[in-house]
Structure 1
Amino acid sequence: METTSLNILELKNQFDEQGYLIIPDVLSEDKVTRLNAAIDEVLAEEQETLSHNIYNSVSRHAEIASLIDHATILPLIVNLLGHNIQLHISHLTVRKPNPNDVKTATHSFIDWHQDGPHPQFPVIAGLTATYYIKVCYILSDMSQPNRGNTKVIPGSHKQPYNPNHKDVSQQLDGEIQVCGKPGDVFIFAQNLWHAGSTNHSEFTRRQLFLGYSPIWMRPIDYHQADEGLLKDADPIRRQLLGQISDNKFKYYVPEDSMVPLKSMLISHS
């Protein structure tokens, strides 16, 4: 484990109220270095562009896959979302300096939105429930704003909120830019209003997003996890890769033995 243990109950209360968390020093300096080296290998296989958006990134390198069941972060996610969960998405984003706001097919910036399917998750009384949670591993110096930082509006997951405009370049009331150093982690709910700002700095943004959802929900990245990931996977990783039973009904009502993540739940009393 690469960080001190977390106060999960305190963080859960903060997450429920604000819709996001920033947790410092989750990854060691050595782990950040190894992840960036892995990303270099992945990018060497891609076409040159101002902005990379690479999905199912855990299948591209073992170093990235090691984050699927991170020893510090996973117990927190289990207690935020429940134990019957899976890996929903793994998304590598790299945004190079873009002072002229050049639009690219790979989304060099992203306007305000909630994550979800088209047209949307069910909305009740103007609110969308939390269906999945994303963990963002910060791998470049994002300690200052305007480096392609993610923008969020704290608490907006609990409000029937519809911004008057979607344009990320316009500042909304209450918005903040999420800042952090390499090794920090940013966690947010899919129903939190957020945006990806343009990188107006001289730094390249590097972030890895791993999202988790209920195991009965179709993952974004794949219908069946890659065999290379499943090979030699322990029961926890098999659950996170969506492999708990040949009987698909069990995805809705699993036996305890099928969902070993239940052991990570703590009492909320």
Structure 2
Amino acid sequence: MTQQTLDIAALTKQFHEDGYLILRNVLSQEKVDRLNAAIDRIVAEEPETLAYNIYNSVERDDEIASLIDEPTLLPLMVNLLGYNIQLHISHLTIRKPNPNDVKTESQSFINWHQDGPHPQFPKQNGITSTYYIKTCYILSDMSEPDRGNTKVIPGSHNKPFQPESQDVRGKVDGEVQVCGKPGDVFIFPQNLWHAGAPNHSDFTRRQLFLGYSPIWMRPIDYRTASDRLLATASPYRKQLLGVIDDNPFKYYVPQESMVPLKEFYIHDAGQSVYK
């Protein structure tokens, strides 16, 4: 894959204002093909359904695990969340064509919501802080709306907001359907209001979400990373898999040597390009 150089400062500003980013051609077609082949293998082991939600997907195939520290996005994630971060979730979603809006236990479509625990993260003046950020790898042709696209309300992460209706099948003022081609990446925080629209097309939606959070939070997918994932992990990936020190206090106040991702952190706000 070709590593892009991103304008970190400009993207950070846009992210904080809009609550999401769409980055084009992050993955090569060859990488997309390998990921889809891995997904084919995974789905072949699952019961047939209109919609698949497969968590901890990095454990299912090394091709997916390779995205944990994807080099184009890693500096951006460090500068959006800070350098003391980990992999929080890896969630594969597949939505087959569903013109009749059949609702399945595996969620053929998902109504408007903010991500988070139950009860939800605390609010201050009606606003929830950003606790984790998801990168969504688009692996099927989502270049047109109504293909099971993710819907978002731009700016809804940084103001008191409640959709007029939770039902994703309606239309909310200001909503945007995120469109992209295979290899594009969509990035958004857990506090952005979003929804998973029904798939009324002839295309199957394939999206792979890898989320990142501060290392002191519990990951959604696992308590500790598996020996298999750690066996060949680089220092960056070991940090992202939560391995920094045996002393849990260091998750809150790590020594610099424990968080190698710090090298991607831009201290000077005027320095806009990671090199």
User: TM-score per shorter chain, which class?
Assistant: over 0.9
| Letter paired with 1:18 | D
**Pairing 1:54-93 to 2, within 5 Å after superposition:** 54-93=54-93
Matched, 1:180 2:175: no
* Residues 198-238 of structure 1, C-alpha deviations (whole Å, 9 max, x = no match): 00000000010000000000000000111110112121111
Q: Report the 3-state secondary structure (helix = DSSP H, G, I; strand = E; otherwise coil) of the residue aligned with 1:158.
A: coil
- Name which of structure 1's ranges 228-237 and 128-137 shifts more when overlaid on structure 2: 228-237
Distance 1:148 1:232 in 2: 36
Distance 1:5 1:164 in 2: 40
- 8 Å contact kept, 1:3–1:25: no
Distance 1:160 1:257 in 2: 39
Q: Report the 3-state secondary structure (helix = DSSP H, G, I; strand = E; otherwise coil) of the residue aligned with 2:157.
A: helix
| Letter paired with 1:132 | Y
| Letter paired with 2:269 | H
| Letter paired with 2:127 | L
- 8 Å contact kept, 2:3–2:71: no
- 8 Å contact kept, 2:27–2:183: yes
Distance 1:189 1:183 in 2: 20
| 1:39 aligned residue | 39
**Pairing 1:112-123 to 2, within 5 Å after superposition:** 112-123=112-123
| Letter paired with 1:143 | S
User: What 5-or-longer segments of structure 2 have no aligned partner?
Assistant: 271-275
Distance 2:239 2:93 in 1: 25
Give, in angstroms, the shift of residue 3 of structure 1: 4.1
Distance 2:107 2:229 in 1: 28
Give, in angstroms, the shift of residue 165 of structure 1: 1.7
User: What 5-or-longer segments of structure 1 have no aligned partner?
Assistant: none
| 2:251 aligned residue | 251
CA root-mean-square deviation: 0.7
| 2:273 aligned residue | none
Q: Report the 3-state secondary structure (helix = DSSP H, G, I; strand = E; otherwise coil) of the residue aligned with 1:244.
A: coil
Give, in angstroms, the shift of residue 168 of structure 1: 0.3
| Letter paired with 1:146 | D
- 8 Å contact kept, 1:132–1:189: yes
| 1:220 aligned residue | 220
| 2:147 aligned residue | 147
Give, in angstroms, the shift of residue 153 of structure 1: 0.4
Distance 1:37 1:240 in 2: 25
| 1:211 aligned residue | 211
Distance 1:109 1:28 in 2: 28
| Letter paired with 2:166 | K
Q: Which runs of 4+ in 1 moved over 4 A?
A: none
Q: With structure 2 as the length reference, what TM-score do the two structures score? A: 0.97
Distance 1:2 1:23 in 2: 14
| 2:103 aligned residue | 103
Distance 1:106 1:12 in 2: 34
Matched, 1:169 2:169: yes
* Residues 40-96 of structure 1, C-alpha deviations (whole Å, 9 max, x = no match): 001011000000000000000000000000000111000011000000000000000
State the percentage of identical aligned residues.
70
Distance 1:238 1:3, change over 3 A: closer
| Letter paired with 1:85 | I
Q: With structure 1 as the length reference, what TM-score do the two structures score? A: 0.99
Give, in angstroms, the shift of residue 121 of structure 1: 0.4
Distance 1:85 1:109 in 2: 30
